[in-house]
Amino acid sequence: MAIAKAERLMNLALCLLGTRRPLSKRELRESIEAYLEAGSDDSFNRMFERDKDDLRELGLVIETVENLDGETGYLARRDSNRLPPITLDAEEAAALGLAAKVWQQARLAGAASGALQKLRAAGLPEDVDPYGAHGALEPRIPVHEAAFEPLMLACRDRRPVVFDYRKANAAQPGQRHVEPWALECWRGHWYLAGWDRDRGAERVFRLSRITGKVRSRSGRFTVPVPDVVTVRETVASWAGESADRSARIRLRSDAGYPLRAKATAVRELGDGWDELEIPYGHGLDAWLVEFGPDVVVMEPAELRADVVDRLRAVAKG
């Protein structure tokens, strides 16, 4: 069914783009086999109107013209449906090349490769290799979570979703009904920012804690989607990037290098332990749990309690 509709839309688009004069419904019906096979005039009219609306939604500019006899005709002028020439300098081409290389999963890698090929055909400088080396570091954003792709599509299409989510301090997952806004990557982990319908507030979910399948739901969003900058700030805050206090921890001397990079002060304690002062913000407890027995929280007391609760939940399975 999907292939047949795509072929019908393509044939209609070619007819409208290939004509120099407006074509009537009758002429279009006689030119396209799928329309000839329509059982009745009503069936054809409904099919044609849907196809015309679909092409317009895809971006095709279709004009409606009435001739001297009062008959309505349709055409898509080439000059109205032609994009301006695309010009990219070396830096812009390099940025596109790097963007295409960060995706590791097959489906997005293929789409990125196809997009760059189209840009090359549309005027990408011949002396620029978007896949070439642009420095000693090559960006990679690994995506291992099965929830990534369905959530990415749901964010794009603005579709509500339902999934089971296991909080770090909970032994069993709970169901969440979410209006997904955007996916962001922090410290090598992917997070979903969105509106939690059950709690009536914005929330951030770490994809590695989503269990089972992500299911789409019908209906529209109930709250406006904030701009990209606001969403990134929300993820940064929930992921522990924003801090307004300090925490004091003990860390094994040969461990926790990401924590050391964040530390504002480091003091050797001896016996294989160091004392660090690190920024304390929302999400720090979840991060510290990842270092297991290599970290001991000294203060504040609430951070220590949160880390202990999370470790107990992990121990319970």
For 214-262, the pLDDT digits (tens) are 999 988 899 988 876 566 677 766 665 566 788 999 999 988 888 888 8
Tokens representing 242 are 């924003």
For 203, the enclosing helix (H) or strand (E) is strand 201-206
Q: What is the pLDDT of residue 106?
A: 43
217 Cβ contact list (under 8 Å, min separation 6): 159, 160, 161, 162, 177
pLDDT level of residue 7 (50, 70, 90 thresholds): confident
For 183, the enclosing helix (H) or strand (E) is strand 174-186
For 21-38, the pLDDT digits (tens) are 899 998 999 999 888 888
Q: What is the mean pLDDT of residues 169-198?
A: 84
Number of CB atoms found within 10 A of residue 199's CB: 11
* Dist. CA 222–CA 252, nearest whole Å: 48
* Dist. CA 234–CA 195, nearest whole Å: 12
Tokens representing 29 are 């019906």
Of the two residues 314 and 81, the one the predictor is more confident about is 81
Instruction: Judge contact between 214 and 147, C-beta under 8 A.
Output: yes
For 153-169, the pLDDT digits (tens) are 898 888 999 999 987 65
Reported pTM: 0.48
Q: What is the pLDDT of residue 177?
A: 96
* Dist. CA 114–CA 108, nearest whole Å: 10
Instruction: Judge contact between 221 and 261, C-beta under 8 A.
Output: no
pLDDT level of residue 1 (50, 70, 90 thresholds): very low
For 252-291, the pLDDT digits (tens) are 998 888 888 888 999 999 889 999 999 887 677 877 888 8
User: What domains can you pick out in the chain, each with its CATH number?
Assistant: 1-122 (1.10.10), 147-230 (2.30.30), 246-316 (no CATH)
Mean pLDDT, the chain, rounded, equals 80
Q: What is the pLDDT of residue 139?
A: 53
3-state helix, strand, coil in the chain (%, to 5): 40, 25, 35
